[in-house]
Amino acid sequence: MKINLFKAHLRPLDFVIFVLALLAVIGSSVLVLGRQSGTRYVQISGDSGEWIAPLDRDAEYRIPGPIGTTLVHIHDGHAAIVESPCANQLCVLSGAISEPNQWVACLPNKVFVRIVSGGTTDEGAIDAGTY
């Protein structure tokens, strides 16, 4: 079975459609690459293990530690420690974090919460809260 390309009688719109489809392929590739590096995760380290969660999905994590349970809340693209068994409550007072490399920690209960970026180059936007 032979199909002759030149005999196929291609019409002008065929080329337009081909180019549009090609643009869709290229466009989706660019979008996917950009999106991938922009995804942020919450990384939680505790005494008994490690947790990872996407920042854009609301969730609640109970992290066990030496003096009790620390409650980490992910909501609206922000992560925060909302309940802690520690005496000074500094971690709760630190508030919510959302930019890559920001962190909150509860030292007495050995819980460390940090925002990491899905990409390798994305260092995050400059944020007033980080100086």
What's phi and psi for 103, nearest 5 deg? -150, 155
Between CA 93 and CA 45 the distance in angstroms is 19
Amino acid, res. 130:
T
The verdict on 6 binding other proteins (CB under 8 A) reads no
Q: Which two tokens stand for residue 81?
A: 């420690």
Nearer to other proteins, 33 or 93 (CB): 33
Between CA 102 and CA 124 the distance in angstroms is 9
Q: What binding mask, one character per residue, do residues 33-72 give for other proteins by CB under 8 A, x or -?
A: --xx--x-x-------xxxxxx--x-x-------------
Residues of this chain that interact with other proteins (CB under 8 A) are: 1, 3, 5, 8-18, 21-22, 24-25, 28-29, 31-32, 35-36, 39, 41, 49-54, 57, 59
